[in-house]
Copies of this chain bind each other. A is one copy, B any other.
């Protein structure tokens, strides 16, 4: 789809497409895992997991939409969203992994968050962000 845009994709169409897919998958998986966790007997142990998943779903959703709009893409805005995405995906993956043995939905969610963390981190290493990364101590 991005190849059909009338302008260039400064971050590279392939990497952007991969990050969009990973973000949408993380959004969906986090939403499902939070819903499943709300139905578990051991809900009290899953409260941090649920809270992180709600945050992760929202951040990944907006990042997917932003990356789908290259036309007026502001590198600074994209950069900050990707940084937020990498952080919340990492936290969420770590917390889900702690429950992965007992809940298969947490195991699946941990995997989706790790994949999204990687895809966003790879975009952040793009040349286009070099200057911003230096400033951000990234």
Contacts and interface: CB of A to CB of B under 8 A. Distances in A.
B69 A35 contact: yes
A120 to B, nearest CB: 12
Interface of A: 1-2, 4-7, 20, 24, 27-29, 31-36, 38-40, 43-44, 47-48, 50-52, 54-55, 57-59, 61-62, 64-66, 68-72, 74, 76-77, 80-81, 83-84, 87-88, 91, 103-105, 108-109, 135-137
29 contacts: A1-B32, A4-B103, A4-B108, A5-B36, A5-B39, A6-B40, A24-B28, A28-B64, A32-B68, A34-B54, A35-B54, A35-B68, A39-B71, A43-B47, A51-B72, A54-B69, A55-B66, A55-B74, A58-B62, A59-B66, A59-B77, A62-B62, A74-B87, A74-B88, A76-B87, A81-B81, A84-B84, A135-B136, A137-B137
